[in-house]
Structure 1
Amino acid sequence: MNTTRLPAMWEIMIVLALFLAVVISFATVFDLPIQLALFISWFIVMALGVRLGYTYNQLQGAITRGISNGLEAILILLAVGTLIGTWIAGGVVPSLIYFGLEFINPTFFLLATLIICSITSISTGTSWGTVGTAGIAMMGIGQGLGMPLALVAGAVISGAYFGDKLSPLSDSTILSASMARVNVIDHVKAMLVLDIPAYLITAVLFTVTGFMYGGKDFDAGRVEGLKSSLLDTFHISGWMLIPALAVIVLLAFKKPSLPAIAIGSLLGIIWAVVFQHMDVASAFNTAYEGFKINTDNTFLSELLNRGGILSMVGSIIVIIFGLGFGGLLDELGVLEVLLSKFEKILVNSGNVTASTIFVGLLGNIFGCAMYVSLILTPKIMEKSYDKLRIQRLVLARNSEVGGTLTSGMVPWTDNGVFLATTLGISTFAYLPFMWLSFISIILAIIYGYTGKFIWYATEEKQRSSIAK
């Protein structure tokens, strides 16, 4: 039987430095795919694993276990790909864009974007689905209104993340609660005291910014040209929104995400055949290859030529390699060793809160996927909360802040790749405008150091929680 040991701090620093060097150089210097950088990084960590006494079979098992933790995300991502392609073909997204251009005031557009994406995300429980449907529509409207697209993307992401965190249908919400071993509804209630103030502040910021930018570059002729192109290309009417409403209703009644999204895709195909007069084979093919069309409006062509399973392949490869990388780090105990260096300062709720958010961010940076972060963070931090008798609800909330809300900030995470690819805006371009995420992080840390909304467990409850 082989004997293994935990890595030394200097060994971890070398491996993580090599990882960052490979990823950053591939992305910024050599312009090579981030997927290749993540694949190479597997072998960097595996070399450390061999040095620590692990066999190749053990390391391969860690990779496969890590990947298995994110298979649900991969399946949902595939379904979202079909949804985007078929909803564009069926006229759902084009109709949303048209009505938005028709009725939304440029001054309040950013606030409207935040609210619309919030409602969609709360109803469906998926930030990815929101970004891939309502988010694409709002980007199109924003372009037509002359708004900075990075700013629009920030409003889309803020709304999508807010709704996702407060929806008991959300897979990340369920995962955070289950990993911290708390009730999902109780977890959502604990998130409310953080997310509602953060949302109101975010809404004020986007409202004020809307007054600064709204109408500044507004070109009525460009808007009318975009609307005309939509009318020439698609049948536009309120009936086109029925597939979207159907998915929202299904998810609101707590039906599983995958079949609900699949039903929405099927309705998109039917709508493409019945209302957009596509032949059946072409309509079905939009679920796989996405929607493709050439119009005189260059922007409209760029906006609508997307979707399908094939469009998600790059993101799925990132998720697979990222989950495998996170599985290796978990097996070798890398994050636990890093946290052990901070154990002496984990003596109050403020330091524990800040450390939890930091660990969540590290989980995204080095685990390359939100799911890795949400799995590792509660597992690593739970002893510190139990030692201070802080309720696991606070652990779940802080894990969400550190794991979910920072995932889109890292270009090589599952969220980072998906958001940049779907919205057509680079991570570093929209990053400064992820206002809900930044405000939530600040509020969580303020709560930690002031003791506000930090709940403590009785000895009986604490023993029961630890025993679960």
Structure 2
Amino acid sequence: MSTDKRLPTMGEVLFVLISFVLIMFLFVVQFGIPIQLALLTTWFMIMLVGLKIGYNYAEMQKGILKGITDGLEAVLILICVGALIGTWIAGGIVPTIIYYGLSIINPNIFLLAAFVICAITSIATGTSFGSAGTAGIAMMGIGISFGFPVALVAGAVISGCYVGDKLSPLSDTTVMTASLSKVNLIDHIKSMLYVSTPAFIIAGTLFLITGFFFHDSSGSLTQAEETMTSLSDFFNIGWHMLIPAVVVIVLLALKKPSIPVILFGALLGSIWAFLFQDVALLDAVNSLYSGNSIESGVAFIDNLLNRGGIVFMLDVIVLILFALGVGGLMEKIGILRVICVKMLAWANNAGKTTLTTLLSGFFGNFFGGAAYVSIITASKITEENYDRLNIDRRVLSRNTEAGGTVTTPMVPWSDGGVFMAATLGVSTMAYLPFLWFNFLVVAISILYGFTNTFIWYTKPGGKDEEKAS
């Protein structure tokens, strides 16, 4: 066993970071090799540095396993949501939501409606994945029928989904961030409202304005009518189709555990497929694993509704496991600690401290592949600076969400980025420019930091003091 371990030098850290980016570019962009193999290759590149600085393979394997273990809850949720998507399509729940949405939503306000509906769903359920896999898929169907670019619709959907993932007291990331930052959950949410409220209003306004100019007004209503006809031909549409969705939302709103609730919702979808959609019992049950399969003759409907099931998530799960392993390796051999030390030496005011937290969160997503990793890196790497500068930890928790949770869908190989791309059928780089709420949260957080706006400081007596300069 090695006894002469040392921290990597800054040169070795830069070698790992630059090599990581180059491997991703060459594998994915240049040669079209699956991103899973790119991430697996980075394991060996990081291990070479680990061996050089004194770690043996057994020690580094423990780091890999710890990184994977820390993110396993997200993997379990992905499996459950995959099953839910499959049965809710087969059971007619998602097609019914699309059908009613097409009948009541005006195309001019659709983007705003999609943003708000997904925000409400995610706040009520506390899960961006579950919201995207249900309301999000429905909004994609409606938006495509109205003639909107799929990437723009996906941007509105994902923006809305991350409103709740960031703000809901039911969200695991919200609870985890408050816990790691040692902040009361409600105080944490109140602190985030100072950033999220203006970001929500501005993003909503942008989606509203864009909706008036971006959709194909000449063909939107005709295509919407054709979509409604096709849906009614292949599915029984009715208000009772929405019961499973209502049950799941209510149970999650009552703070019931998300994994069993989502699985129960998936089971209800199978029952609905058997009872109301004339699906054979075994096929209805099998949709939990294999997803839905129809041939409507309408290409985009087939593309949208032939998905779901646990199988649908297998590639995503493999990718996330490899990404979590990368994060665990970097943590084990001290790469994140070296970055932390450099950041702490530079961050000597509220603005720089805010920026280091945001960057630490983004690095957690970029190199760790998961929201859980990003929340840990953002909070733990920079918490010392907040205490040293007497900045209230509510600011730390708020910035951790801005740099960690909100940037997750921006990284193509993170759990959020992979899930959103696979579920909505739009690549991360395509929808990235339209994540307006997410970008606004980051921008407003930086603005507050460098202008000392809504930055609270602690007095020796323990009272809060808000400084405006």
Q: TM-score range by the shorter chain?
A: over 0.9
* 1:114 to 2:132 alignment: no
- Residue 364, structure 1, aligned to residue 342, structure 2: no
Aligned-pair distance for 1:12? 1.1
| Distance of 1:212 and 1:72 partners within structure 2 | 41
TM-aligned CA deviation for residue 215 of structure 1: 4.8
- After superposition, the C-alpha distances for 1:25-78 in whole angstroms (9 at most, x for unaligned) are 111111111111111111111111111101211101011111111111111110
What TM-score, normalized to structure 1?
A: 0.97
Find the counterpart in structure 2 of residue 77 from structure 1: 78
Larger mean Cα displacement after TM superposition, 300-309 or 314-323: 314-323
2:224 is the alignment partner of 1:223: yes
Partner of 2:173: 172
2:165·2:405 contact (CA, 8 Å) conserved in 1?
A: no
Q: Is the 8 A contact 2:166 2:406 kept in 1?
A: no
Match of 1:161 in 2: 162
Please tell me whether residue 93 in structure 1 is matched to residue 67 in structure 2.
Answer: no
> For each residue in 1:386-443, what CA deviation from the matched residue of structure 2 results, as whole angstroms up to 9, or x when unmatched?
1001111111110111111111111111111111111111111111100001111111
Q: After alignment, is 233-242 or 372-381 more displaced?
A: 372-381
- Identify the residue that residue 128 of structure 2 maps to in structure 1: 127
Work out the CA distance in 1 between the residues paired with 2:115 and 2:223.
24
Partner of 2:198 in structure 1?
197
In the aligned structure 1, how far is the partner of 2:232 from the partner of 2:174? 40
Count of residues in Structure 1 that have an aligned counterpart in Structure 2? 462
| d(CA) in 2 for partners of 1:379, 1:352 | 13
Mapping of residues 396-415 of structure 1, within 5 Å? 396-415=397-416
What TM-score, normalized by structure 2, do the two folds share? 0.96
Matches of residues 15-26 of structure 1 in structure 2 within 5 Å? 15-26=16-27
The amino acid of 1:269's aligned partner reads: S
Does 2:284 match 1:293?
Answer: no
Q: The residue matched to 2:307 in structure 1 has which SS?
A: coil
Aligned residue for 2:295, secondary structure, equals: coil
Q: State the match for 1:466 in structure 2.
A: none
Shift of 1:332: 1.7
Q: 8 Å contact 1:109–1:214 — kept in the other structure? A: no
Q: Distance in 1 between matches of 2:218 and 2:355?
A: 41
- Per the alignment, residue 142 of structure 1 pairs with 143
Q: Which amino acid aligns with 1:426?
A: S
Q: Give the whole-Å Cα distance in 2 for the aligned partners of 1:216 and 1:128.
A: 31
> Could you say which residue in structure 2 is the equivalent of 1:6?
7
CA distance in 1, matches of 2:370, 2:13: 19
Q: Tell me which amino acid in the other structure corresponds to 1:194.
A: V
Please state how far the C-alpha of 1:199 moved relative to its aligned partner.
Answer: 0.1
Per-residue deviation at 1:96? 0.5
Please state if 1:302 is matched with 2:308.
Answer: no
Instruction: Indicate if the aligned counterparts of 1:147 and 1:217 stay in contact, CA closer than 8 A.
Output: no
| Structure 1 unaligned residues grouped into runs of 5+ | 463-468
Q: Residue 219 of structure 2: SS of its match in structure 1?
A: coil
The AA in structure 2 aligned to 1:388 is: L
Equivalent-residue separation in structure 2 for 1:461 and 1:59 (angstroms): 42
Indicate conservation of the 8 Å contact 1:5/1:53, yes or no.
yes
In 2, Cα distance between the equivalents of 1:236 and 1:454? Answer: 51
Query: Would the alpha carbon gap of residues 461 and 37 (structure 1) be closer, same or farther in structure 2, given more than 3 Å must change?
Result: farther
CA displacement, residues 370-401 of structure 1 (integer Å, 9 cap, x when unaligned): 21111122111011111001111111110111
Any idea what the Cα deviations from partners look like across 1:350-377, whole Å, max 9, x if unmatched?
1100111111111111112221111122
Q: What amino acid is aligned across from residue 11 of structure 1 in structure 2?
A: E
Partner of 1:465: none
Distance 1:453 1:399 in 2: 15
Aligned to 1:455, the other structure's residue is in SS state: strand
Q: Deviation per CA, 1:429-467, whole angstroms, max 9, x where unpaired?
A: 1111000011111110111112211112233659xxxxx
Partner of 2:467: none
Range that drifts further, 353-362 or 207-216: 207-216
The secondary structure found in structure 2 opposite 1:341 is helix
One-letter amino acid of the structure 1 residue matched with residue 82 of structure 2:
G
Query: d(CA) in 2 for partners of 1:67 and 1:93?
Result: 32
2:44 corresponding residue in structure 1: 43
Separation in structure 2 between the aligned mates of residue 116 and residue 427 of structure 1, nearest angstrom: 21
Output the CA distance in 2 between the equivalents of 1:252 and 1:319: 28
Cα distance in 2, alignment partners of residues 361 and 219 from structure 1: 38
- Structure-2 residue corresponding to 1:30: 31
What amino acid is the match of 2:453? K
Deviations 1:114-157 (A, max 9, x none): 11001100011000111111111101101100011111111001
Secondary structure of 2:278's aligned partner: coil
Which residue identity is paired with 1:25?
L
Identity %: 52
Aligned to 1:211: 212
CA distance in 1, matches of 2:339, 2:167: 31
Amino acid at match of 2:223: R
Note the residue ranges of structure 2 that are not aligned, 5 or more in a row: 464-469
Find the counterpart in structure 2 of residue 423 from structure 1: 424
| Amino acid paired to 1:287 | L
Tell me if structure 1 keeps the 8 A contact 2:169–2:189.
Answer: yes
Query: How far apart in 2 are the matches of 1:111 and 1:220?
Result: 18
